[in-house]
Structures are given as C-alpha cells and as structure tokens.
C-alpha cells in the first residue's frame, strides 16, 4: 500500500486544498505518484511540509509527474532548464505570481501540474492563495455557463512577460494561443473556468468593449470568490503541487524588503478542450 493512501490529511477548504502529513515526496512509489496526480485533479492543490531535497531531486520528482515544461521567458538556473527560480528580495521590482493567474496559459499546451518548493521565507507574510476554477464555474448561473461554453479566449505572453525578464525584448515573440473559456479536466471530467488576468487578452468574436466587460466580470468573480479559495503559509522546505487546469493562484507580496526564495518545476499539459 502506498504511503499516500494512509497519510493523514487535512482539507484546508471544503472544495480546494489538502495538507498531507508524514509524506516524503521523493520516496513515493509509482502508485503513490499516480494517486498524487489524481488527488491534485480532485482537490486542486496539495501541500506538504518538511520536504528536504536538492534541486536535482526536485527535477527528478517533477519528471515523474509528467514531461517537464520549459518557461518561455524566465532565465533558468544554470544546468536546470526546466526550473523556474522564484526569488523576491529588497531589490526586486515585482514578485512572480503577484496577481490571479494559471501558469503560462499562453502556451499551446499549457502547464498541467506545478510543484513549488520554498527554501527561504520572510518573518511574516509571503502566503500563496489558490482558487478552484471548478467552483468558479459551478457558482455561475446556468444560462451564463451555457453562454461561456460557446466562447474561446486569446491568451498571450505579452501581458505577463513583455519588459519583465529582460530590458530589451522588442524582437521577442512570446506565445499566443486560443483556448476555450470553459475547459474539461482530462482526469476528473469536470468543467472549469479557464480565463485569467495574467494572460487572457480578449474574448474571440466580441467587440473590445464587450470583451473587456465580460473578462472583468469573470476576473472579479475569481478574485472575490473567497468561499472557493484557500491560503497556504510557507515554511522552509514546504512544497505545494497544484493542477493548473482547475486552479488559479496568487502570490502575496506583503513582506518587502525581506526575501522569499524557492524553485518551481512544471509539467506540460494537453491542448485544452471543452
């Protein structure tokens, strides 16, 4: 029996987020990894404490979750092209993830699972919030859900990356792709809202005014949907693993000028479908 089956669990919200204790991720067998992937599809985000591992061990474990994604804009640590450095200190102009988003939804095959491991934390603050896009969808009116199901949206890396990772990226082409506004999760079979303020530029087929108005309604619905959100307070060597197909997240930058430091690996997902 896999250790994940018997691990003590605490749900951090009725509809999203589960903290699992007495689990060492790098020691999970293949059955345990499969259970983890299935549980992430159900609960959206999973939390683990006391996960001491090297960067190489994190990459190795991440590769067991799926084919690893390479970020289209951020510079990776030397020797680890699959790793995104998550670092904010007194010299930072911004912090990664400061705004509701799902990771790199501008890609043709946007990320599936993301695994963030934090090594250094500030004395207070620095939490990350997650929101269930299953519940964001379910809490809309039936007629509105039906209308949204007929729409697609344009997601572009220009919104998130232009001018952020390099001083001169005028000639850089960041990914731009079109995805359904409502997508179906390939494991759970549930429908989820799939637009986000980080990457979604416009709704296809609507005027600019109509598109902006509709997106504002949806973005506000996500941001103010506190009943389908959960919050995680980081400790050194904490890990969060979340499914980008059914959650969004927001990193709280409320600890300036202190430092928060960690690493993220992410798997490639499939082309979103309705």
Helix (H, G, I), strand (E, B) or coil at 168: coil
Instruction: Count Cα atoms within 13 angstroms, Cβ side, for 64.
Output: 19
Give first-to-last CA distance, the chain, whole Å. Answer: 35
Torsions phi, psi of 142, nearest 5?
-55, -40
User: Could you list the active site residues?
Assistant: 101, 103, 249, 264
Tell me the CA distances in angstroms from 100 to 31, 86, 128, 197, one per residue in order.
32, 16, 10, 6
Helix (H, G, I), strand (E, B) or coil at 220: helix
> Across the beta sheet with 152-156, what order do the strands follow?
176-180, 152-156, 200-203
């Amino acid at each position: 029996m896999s250790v994940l089956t018997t691990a003590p669990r605490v749900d951090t919200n009725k509809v999203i987020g589960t903290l699992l204790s007495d689990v060492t991720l790098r020691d999970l067998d293949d059955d345990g990894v499969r259970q983890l992937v299935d549980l992430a599809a159900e609960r959206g985000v999973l939390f683990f404490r006391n996960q001491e591992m090297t960067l190489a061990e994190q990459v190795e474990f991440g590769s067991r979750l799926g084919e690893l994604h390479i970020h289209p804009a951020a510079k990776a640590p030397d020797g680890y092209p699959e790793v995104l450095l998550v670092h904010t200190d007194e010299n930072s102009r911004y912090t990664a993830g400061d705004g509701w988003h799902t990771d790199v939804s501008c890609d043709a095959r946007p990320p599936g699972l993301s695994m963030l491991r934090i090594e250094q934390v500030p004395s207070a603050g620095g939490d990350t919030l997650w929101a269930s896009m299953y519940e964001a969808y379910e809490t809309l009116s039936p007629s509105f859900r039906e209308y949204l199901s007929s729409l697609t949206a344009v997601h572009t890396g220009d919104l998130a990356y232009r001018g952020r990772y390099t001083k001169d990226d005028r000639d850089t082409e960041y990914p731009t792709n079109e995805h359904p506004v409502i997508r179906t999760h390939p494991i759970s079979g549930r429908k989820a809202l799939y637009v986000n303020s980080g990457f979604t530029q416009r709704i296809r087929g609507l005027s600019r005014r109509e598109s902006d108005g509709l997106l504002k309604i949806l973005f506000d619905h996500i941001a103010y949907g506190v009943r389908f959100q959960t919050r995680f307070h980081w400790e050194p060597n904490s890990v969060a693993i979340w499914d980008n197909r059914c959650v969004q997240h927001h990193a709280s930058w409320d600890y300036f000028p202190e430092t928060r430091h960690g690493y993220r690996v992410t798997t490639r997902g499939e082309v979103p479908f309705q």
